[in-house]
Chain A
Amino acid sequence: MTTIPPRPTFTQDWLRIARMGGIAAVGQTFIALSNMPVRLDERLLIKPILSMGYLILIVLPFAVGYRYGHQIKREGMPTFTPSMYEVLGGALSGALAGGGLSLLAVLLRHFDLRDPLVNWSPILLNLLTFGNATWFAVIIWIVIGTGTGAAGGLLRLLGPRAYRTAISVAITVASAAVLESLIVDIAKGLGLENLTDRLYASRGGIEWLSAIVLAVASGTLGVLGRGRFRQAKTQLSQLEGTARTQANAALIALTLAALIVLPLFAGKLTNELLANVGIFVLLALGLNIVVGLAGILDLGYVAFFAVGTYTAAVLTAATSPRISPEMPWLLALIFVVVITGLVGLFIGAPVIRMRGDYLAIVTLGFGEIIRLLFLSDWLSGWFNGAQGLVQIPPANIFGLTEIGGTEPRRVFYLVLAFCALAIYVSWRLERSRLGRAWMAVREDETVAEAMGINTVNIKLMAFVVGAMLGSFSGAIVAVKVGSVFPSSFLIVVSMVILVVVIFGGMGNIVGVIAGAAVLIGVLGGPRQPGLLAEFSEFKLLIYGALLIWMMLARPEGLIPSMRRSRELHQHEITQDAWLKN
């Protein structure tokens, strides 16, 4: 490596600063006008300094400040050592980003655009000016922008180690703040109220002193434990044979034990949340087989969820019009799986030969058609149309317990049992002949066919297996909610499941579970509230943005499957190999 000079001239970078700052300013204005800051201002993160509303407004200046120093490494081109220019440039672009808000504050004061823009309100102005005059807002936002931008630039200057420490500190504090209700709830169950009382302020948010303690603790831990975690991980992955199996089994047993014990100490809300996450884990595991393993983009996955729920409801509820002898839930479950599998076969058989993208749109169409059928007067003799089916009795498990919506803990255990089953099935399938065939089809259909795989049958099989896995969650939702309406099965549900799978990591079981836990647990599902209930209006917006960002920056997902990520980065791998030679 040759010695690398700092960036030679500052003059070339004006355009870059202006562009990045400009984009961030537009983004800031959009965020402000989306009402996110006002709505989230009620949620204190660190008392009394920072509410989530203001946090949202300093993310972008910080991000552009950090991004400013980003250099693309090109073969044969020098990369510069980061210098004070990075900080200066970051500060300037951050100032521009903050300036967007200053401009907005002035416009808010002098114009009234409330007619098209619903959030053009004095409340927003008040938030931006901190209750002071407009000129104060103008100055303060430029100052805040400059400060956070400079902080971003400084982080770049300090290098990757500082960056990693800062990120781990930020994540610790943020998760402590976000998981507040969960932690408080479990601590209450364990009798540790003293601890949480000290950590959290009485009306939400971390006390600022505790925040500092937490930050310092996680920072030191991060610095001291540097590399240990990764070391442990590589050690684990290098284990072979029985040792590997034992280590895996121990990990799984530990997780399972935690999941069984934890809900005992948790309240209703937490269990409800866990049950919701579990239901989406089930759905996402099912979709993962179709999308992640076999590479078929199914946009109408909600159809199978709907069929599962409706079958369970029709068979068990006394209010269902046609079928009078009511079945116990467990018996109905068999029918649910069989019928959903048949529907999957029925939908999949004609269309599975189509090109991948046409197939996606056609499945989307089927997803909508199924909902329209449940809604229609034509079949209302079976499904009661828009009135839906109500009073679905709780599930009776071998006469041992009754599982219904009023007992979220029992629902959670039921979900857990099915999740375990689904995980086991997906795990075995992935390593089976069938699973390998799926992956071969995903990677290259023509080659797979040449290897003697009947691609049509194999793909159809994935479709049906995915449908069957999805139907379990349908049956559980039927007893959990106790009623079923066509309006619960909008296409949005499919999209949210898809976002979960892609965010977590297509084709990776652990990734999919993590994706569901993070997204559904924190932001919430299409109808279910998450930990951040304040986000309910914005979660779909965030899911959309997240989907775009994931595909652009990290298409393999949060926890990638090795094979899948190789496939996605094939281009870069070949390029690297070419450069090395």
Chain B
Amino acid sequence: MGLLAFIAQEIDPNNPFASWVNPDATGLTGAQFRGLIISGIAQGAMYGLIALGYSMVYGILGFINFAHGEVFMVGAMTGMIASNKLADAGLWETNFIGSLLIVMLLSVLVCSLTAVVMEKVAYRPLRNTPRLIPLITSIGVSFFLQNASIVLLGPSAKSYPEMPDWLKDQYTFLGISGARLLVIFAAAASMAVLWYYVENTKNGKAMRAVAEDAEIAALMGINVNRTIVKVFALGGAMAGMAGILWGVLFRSVIHSMGFLPGIKAFSAAVVGGIGHLGGAMTGGLSIGMAESVGPLMILEPLGVNGVSQLRDAVAFAMLIVMLLLRPSGIFDERLPAEDRT
């Protein structure tokens, strides 16, 4: 490692690769580097939460719910409205934790509802059609939700109310800013709840059975339709959670915010191995890290300037490379029975 750092330093003293191997050497300082890693993890945790919805739906129905990113947007918007109302009432300042919990609960409910309605209206009638048909429909849904947000709430960016002091950047715990810590903690908690639900409850068992083989599951007395509704509700809930966390971290929300995180979260699901819960989270973290440190560490040494503009390209490139080299993901993908080859 030391040798690698040395070579890298010899080539270019400001090479971030050198500082990756030996953070104190040149370029980025250790603290900056740690900051990048932490923000990558926080970002990735949110991608992971969204990715869960893509992954579970793909695992059961075998199609990409393109509109899932828009559910995330709905969550962030709901949170924005609710938190601003709470701030007007003065609750946001006096009892921040309590009001944040209310906002989270509300957003999770609204998002679950959105996802369930979406399934019922747009996807259920297309259950047995070729795979591209529901995908095209979901593009329509995504278009519709995005533009519904424009016409109802206006096209401008909106912001969450002022966060309490301990969530601001200058307050850190162990070198991690409070907001990021909150995001990571909340994401981990939601993930744990989801994990418990899917692995240890009867409903979760039904979900796994339907994902394994819907027809056989139906023969075993599982109500497949209801299970699918639950899957959509759960995925929506996770996206709603991610929406709130996004709002807490960046404070600014806009109608188009669902698109890129949605695509990246889908990439995360694929990178982790689609249909696999742990995979979604792992994939989310790796995409988050890759786009936070990738541009500086890989592109800049290659002599590309203005690397931060290419941040979004990193996630896509990672998706493409992953699909080319190992399409089944880090963990092996789990697909519905008829899609296995």
Contacts and interface: CB of A to CB of B under 8 A. Distances in A.
A541 B133 CA distance: 20
Interface residues of A, number: 56
A375 B137 CA distance: 30
Interface in B87-139: 121-122, 125-126, 128-129, 131-137, 139
Identify whether the interface residues of A are mostly helix, strand, loop, or mixed: helix
Contacts of B327: 354-355, 358
B177 interface: no
Contacts of B133: 551, 555, 568
Given A297-B132, A495-B139, A552-B137, A361 B151 contact: no
Given A502-B136, A548-B122, A350 B320 contact: yes
B294 to A, nearest CB: 14
A119 interface: yes
Interface string B123-164: 001101101111111011111111110111110000000000
Nearest to B143: A544
Interface stretch (B13-21, B188-196, B308-316): B308-316
Contacts of B170: none
A355 B62 CA distance: 11
Interface string A439-464: 00000000000000000000000000
Contacts of B309: 372, 375-378
Interface in A20-36: 30, 33-36
Contacts of A361: 64, 263, 266-267, 319
Contacts of B304: 378
Nearest to B319: A365
Nearest to A347: B320
Interface string A64-86: 00000000000000000000000
A376 B148 contact: no
Identify whether the interface residues of B are mostly helix, strand, loop, or mixed: helix
Interface string A82-111: 000000000000000000000000000000
Interface in A200-226: none
A360 B142 CA distance: 15
A369 B84 contact: no
Interface in B259-316: 259, 263, 266-267, 270, 304-307, 309-310, 312-313, 316
A547 B14 CA distance: 51
Contact of B259 (A376, A491, A551): A491
B218 interface: no
A118 interface: yes
Contacts of B266: 361
B324 interface: yes
A113 to B, nearest CB: 10
Nearest to B311: A372
Nearest to B77: A116
Contacts of A537: 150-151
Interface string A536-579: 01101101111110111001000000000000100100000000
B317 interface: yes
A353 to B, nearest CB: 9
A368 B137 contact: no
B81 interface: yes
A362 B318 CA distance: 11
A35 to B, nearest CB: 6
A301 to B, nearest CB: 13
B263 A547 contact: no
A495 B152 CA distance: 22
B263 A299 contact: no
Interface size class of B (residues with CB under 8 A): 35 or more
A358 B259 CA distance: 16
A451 B199 CA distance: 45
B47 interface: no
B63 interface: yes
Nearest to B270: A358
B11 interface: no
Given A36-B151, A117-B153, A365-B263, A360 B305 contact: no
B147 A552 contact: no
A354 B64 CA distance: 14
B140 A544 contact: yes
Contact of B305 (A350, A377, A498, A548): A377
Interface string A345-377: 000001100111110111011101100110111
B323 A358 contact: yes
Contact of B137 (A295, A376, A551): A551
A3 to B, nearest CB: 33
Contacts of A350: 320, 324
Contacts of A240: none
Contacts of B146: 540, 544
Interface in A499-522: 499, 502
A238 B314 CA distance: 56
A415 to B, nearest CB: 27
Contact of B125 (A116, A362, A552, A571): A552
A187 B236 CA distance: 54
A322 B151 CA distance: 43
A117 B310 CA distance: 35
A365 B320 contact: yes
Contacts of B267: 361, 365
A430 B195 CA distance: 51
Contacts of A351: 320, 323-324
B141 A544 contact: yes
A104 B9 CA distance: 68
A527 B133 CA distance: 27
Nearest to B84: A115
Nearest to A492: B143
B152 A498 contact: no
B319 A362 contact: yes
B270 A369 contact: no
Nearest to A118: B154
Nearest to B134: A551
A315 B341 CA distance: 47
Contact of A548 (B137, B310, B323): B137
Contacts of A297: 132, 135-136
Given A297-B135, A297-B136, A372-B313, A541 B324 contact: no
A369 B144 contact: no
A25 B324 CA distance: 49
B310 to A, nearest CB: 6
B148 A30 contact: yes
Given A368-B316, A491-B259, A541 B153 contact: no
Given A297-B135, A551-B133, A376 B151 contact: no
Contacts of A115: 81, 84-85
A356 B129 CA distance: 14
A181 B202 CA distance: 63
A274 B236 CA distance: 43
Contacts of A34: 148, 151-152
Contacts of A571: 128-129
A378 B141 CA distance: 35
A376 B310 contact: yes
B77 to A, nearest CB: 8
Contacts of A33: 151-152
Nearest to A33: B152
A133 to B, nearest CB: 27
A119 B131 CA distance: 38
A359 to B, nearest CB: 9
A119 B152 contact: yes
16 contacts: A34-B152, A36-B151, A118-B154, A357-B64, A358-B270, A358-B327, A361-B267, A361-B319, A362-B316, A365-B316, A366-B316, A368-B313, A377-B305, A537-B150, A547-B136, A568-B133
When A and B form their complex, which 6 residue pairs have the shortest distance between CB atoms, in order from nearest? A547-B140, A544-B143, A377-B306, A544-B144, A365-B316, A541-B147
Given A360-B135, A365-B316, A540-B143, 18 more contacts: A116-B84, A357-B132, A361-B64, A361-B263, A361-B267, A365-B320, A366-B316, A373-B313, A376-B306, A377-B306, A377-B309, A499-B140, A541-B143, A541-B151, A547-B143, A548-B122, A568-B129, A571-B129
